[in-house]
Structure 1
Amino acid sequence: MKHSILAAMALALSTGGLAAGEVAPSQVKYEDGAVMTSLTGTPGDAAEGRKIVGSKKLGNCVACHVVSDLADVPFQGEIGPPLDGAGERWSEADLRGIVSNAKMMFDGSMMPSFYKTEGFIRPGKAYTGKAADDTFGPLLSAEQIENVVAYLVTLKE
């Protein structure tokens, strides 16, 4: 029993805590900014994605984007384009790439990279004013990215 627990802990550490079949942030393959394959190997949950897009503690997409479907969420931003019709403007692969790392598709984008863990100039540890440590991870998990993409695909004009 003790050995199986230790083996499970070693496996979790070696994979960075990733679920089986999950693509690590540093292993995501971009093709002209799009990510063709799922980061988890399973379809996302649009209802959960809706929660993430509207949550000020998770995706906080509404800080920069207007989403009519989330009219109950106050103080929506106008920095980024409205997300209404996102499912018609972009493919699922495009949306996955944009949410993962918008800068791969839109060079000068101010949108944060939600699934990136390296290549930063000076990452900090949350809001502590200290340098990042070994707990530094992406803003959203692979599953959360897939959930957001599943929701955005449903937004038609």
Structure 2
Amino acid sequence: MEGIRSNLFIALLYFLSVTAPSIHATDFKYCNKKKDYAVTISGVEISPDPITKGKETSFIISAFTDKPLSGGKVVIGVAYFGWSVFSKTGDLCANISCPIPTGDFTISYSQLLPAIAPPGSYTLTLKVQDANKSDLTCIKFDFSIGFFLSSERLTDT
């Protein structure tokens, strides 16, 4: 009986770890390794991870600036196996109170991934540009989309 309880407990922990939404820190690289960007990035988090099509995904970028930012643009591009499949440009101050003071700040972006998004490897490029379209920072990071719709979307249909 003790062995059955132990196995059930292990199975329950496994199930919760697989199905519970999580935030995952991911590796990133600067677009130009030799450039000294005005905004430095300290981390990228993706939630939930793994990403599931048909479910909203959030990308949270932790950043630092050594001078106040009065505004600018955020340019996002997504490539699927090297092919551009999505791009969007938005106002940096749309989700952040501007001017952004010297120090740490975060850039958050959420996107509902369409149910028809093909599974596989993607690369997201994120640029922060000033009013003259000069890059204040530019990073790239990879993420994957699984083969299945989220279980929440399946129950909605």
Q: Which structure's relative contact order is higher, taking Cα pairs within 8 Å and 6+ residues apart?
A: 1
For the criterion TM > 0.5, the same-fold answer is no
The TM-score with structure 2 as length reference comes to: 0.25
Higher helix proportion, which one? 1
Q: Of the two, which has the highest radius of gyration? A: 2
Higher strand proportion, which one? 2
